[in-house]
Amino acid sequence: MIRVAAVGDVHLGVDTRGTLRPSYESIAEHADLLLLAGDLTRLGTVAEGEVVADEFAELDVPVVAVLGNHDHQSDAEDKIAALLADRGITVLEGSGTVIDVDGTRIGIAGAKGFGGGFAGKCGHAFGEREMKAFIHHTEDVAEQLRTALLGLSADVRVALTHYSPSADTLRGEPPEIFPFLGSYLLAEAIDDSSVDLAVHGHAHYGSEAGTTAGGVRVRNVAQPVIQAAYRVYTLEPVSTVPE
Amino acid sequence: MNVPQYDVAALRRALAEDPRTAELGVHVRIRGDQLFLSGDVACEQRRAAIAEVVTEHTDGMVLHNEVHIVRAEPPTEQEDLR
């Protein structure tokens, strides 16, 4: 059994330094790894990135993160990713990693994701170059996610994004803003890749539980949704599920 | 012309774009001369900053700051997805 802890949208800043760390000191009692689903900072500055590193570095479990839109606000996303990596936090952007938990390989592929909307109610790459750029960005990150997921050699697979792959977990948000909260293109990549769980954040007023159209379980772990330091989900490799 | 819907939009834009707040998830409602704010933020200072920014953009309205501080204690249970 793998115990996956996850949280997103912690929005750390210099004004919240040290506030989260106490809740993670005992995480190894509850989980085997921790996933951070983006929006780790508020303004996306390097100073805020350093707060994130101080809060999550050197925990007793591996920490794997993607960045979110807030982490891009100051055009310092590459610096933030680098400083988190320097502190031992794995940052994914169209890439994957495999962690061995007592002989079981859990593979995580991650990407920020982007918007565009959901099947039948979405934008298209047509018209103004700004509109085409918007949708092409989503297409690009979805394809990177698909490639990263398919490249995982693992017993259990998790997709980690900031934006949502499912409208299910946006319940509670105004439907008019769904195209800014996620894209079905992310779900298509997930459904093509034998994924056991998809984890995202971004939708503060959304719902925790949903599925992709292909039946993969999706969990929105935005901290305003889960109202906790993290959620824990238990997974099992298919080959070891008792009959 | 004073149109409450435009006032709400202007306030939400200010809360998102002002670096003192950078909050995209605060709901704003205007009912008569009553202004209600709701949502979750990470700490008390950010709750106060939201009120500060909103007050700068409004005049003569009664502010009800119903924004909460998000809870961040370790969970007491896990969800079995096996």
Residues 6+ apart with CB under 8 A from A133: none
In this predicted model, what pLDDT tens digit does every residue of A45-64 receive, in sequence order? Answer: 999 999 999 999 999 999 99
CA–CA gap between residue A83 and residue A34 (Å, rounded): 18
Q: In a mutagenesis test of the B interface, which of A227, A236, A239, A240 is the best target, namely the one with the most B β-carbons within 10 Å?
A: A227
Give this complex's ipTM. Answer: 0.90
**Structural domains in chain A (count):** 1
In chain B, what residues touch A11 (CB-CB under 8 Å)? Answer: 41-42
Structural element, H or E, at residue B9: helix B4-17
Q: What confidence score (pLDDT) does residue B46 get?
A: 96
Across the A/B interface, how many CB contacts are shorter than 8 Å? 81
In chain B, what residues touch A59 (CB-CB under 8 Å)? Answer: none
Sign of CA dihedral B30, B34, B39, B42: positive
pLDDT bin (cut points 50, 70, 90) of residue A241 is: very low
Radius of gyration of chain A (CA): 17
The rounded Cα A172 to chain-centroid distance in angstroms is: 20
Rounded mean pLDDT, A22-44: 97
Say how many C-beta atoms besides its own lie within 10 A of residue B9's C-beta: 12
Quote the tokens at residue B49: 């900053």
Give the pairing type, strands B62-69 and A33-37.
Answer: unpaired
**Which phi and psi (to 5°) does residue A197 adopt?**
-160, 135
Q: What confidence score (pLDDT) does residue B68 get?
A: 96
Amino acid making up residue A172: G
Q: Taking CB atoms and an 8 Å limit, are B75 and A16 in contact across chains?
A: no
What does DSSP assign to residue A41?
B
Nearest C-alpha neighbor of A189 from the set A133, A114, A98: A114
**pLDDT higher than 80, residue B1:** no
Q: What confidence score (pLDDT) does residue A243 get?
A: 47
Give the pairing type, strands A104-111 and B79-80.
Answer: unpaired
Residue A220, CA distances (Å) to A3, A5, A96, A243, B21 in order? 17, 12, 20, 30, 23
Q: Taking CB atoms and an 8 Å limit, are A229 and B72 in contact across chains?
A: yes
Which CATH code for domain B4-69?
A: 3.30.1340
**pLDDT higher than 90, residue A79:** yes
The rounded Cα A51 to chain-centroid distance in angstroms is: 19
Amino acid making up residue B43: C
In this predicted model, what pLDDT tens digit does every residue of A118-159 receive, in sequence order? Answer: 988 999 999 999 999 999 999 999 999 999 999 999 999 999
Strand partners, A39: none
Q: What confidence score (pLDDT) does residue B39 get?
A: 95
Amino acid making up residue A118: F
Which residue stretches of chain A are H helix?
21-24, 46-56, 77-86, 129-150, 184-191, 223-226
The widest CA-to-CA distance across chain B, in whole angstroms, is: 58
In this predicted model, what pLDDT tens digit does every residue of B62-72 receive, in sequence order? Answer: 999 999 999 99
Nearest to A43 among B19, B41, B73 (CB): B19
Asked if residues A175 and A126 have their Cβ atoms less than 8 Å apart, the reply is: no
Q: Taking CB atoms and an 8 Å limit, are B75 and A70 in contact across chains?
A: no
Asked if residues B40 and A204 have their Cβ atoms less than 8 Å apart, the reply is: yes
**pLDDT higher than 60, residue A240:** no
Strand partners, B79: A233
In this predicted model, what pLDDT tens digit does every residue of A179-216 receive, in sequence order? Answer: 999 999 999 999 999 999 999 999 999 999 999 999 99
Asked if residues A227 and A188 have their Cβ atoms less than 8 Å apart, the reply is: no
Asked if residues A228 and B74 have their Cβ atoms less than 8 Å apart, the reply is: yes
**pLDDT higher than 50, residue A20:** yes
**pLDDT higher than 60, residue A239:** no
Interface of chain A toward chain B, CB-CB under 8 angstroms:
1, 3, 10-13, 15-16, 19-20, 23-24, 26-27, 30, 42-43, 70, 73, 196-197, 204-205, 217, 219, 223-224, 226-236, 241
CA–CA gap between residue A35 and residue A231 (Å, rounded): 10
Q: Taking CB atoms and an 8 Å limit, are A231 and B42 in contact across chains?
A: no
Mean pLDDT of chain A: 96
Say how many C-beta atoms besides its own lie within 10 A of residue A68's C-beta: 29
Q: Taking CB atoms and an 8 Å limit, are A30 and B43 in contact across chains?
A: no
Q: Taking CB atoms and an 8 Å limit, are B74 and A16 in contact across chains?
A: no
Burial of A230 from C-beta contacts in 10 A (0-12 / 13-18 / 19+): buried
Domain CATH code at residue A202 = 3.60.21.10
In this predicted model, what pLDDT tens digit does every residue of B22-46 receive, in sequence order? Answer: 999 899 999 999 999 999 999 999 9
pLDDT bin (cut points 50, 70, 90) of residue B2 is: confident
Using CA coordinates, name the residue in chain A closest to B23. A42
Tokens 């949708």: give the residue.
A135
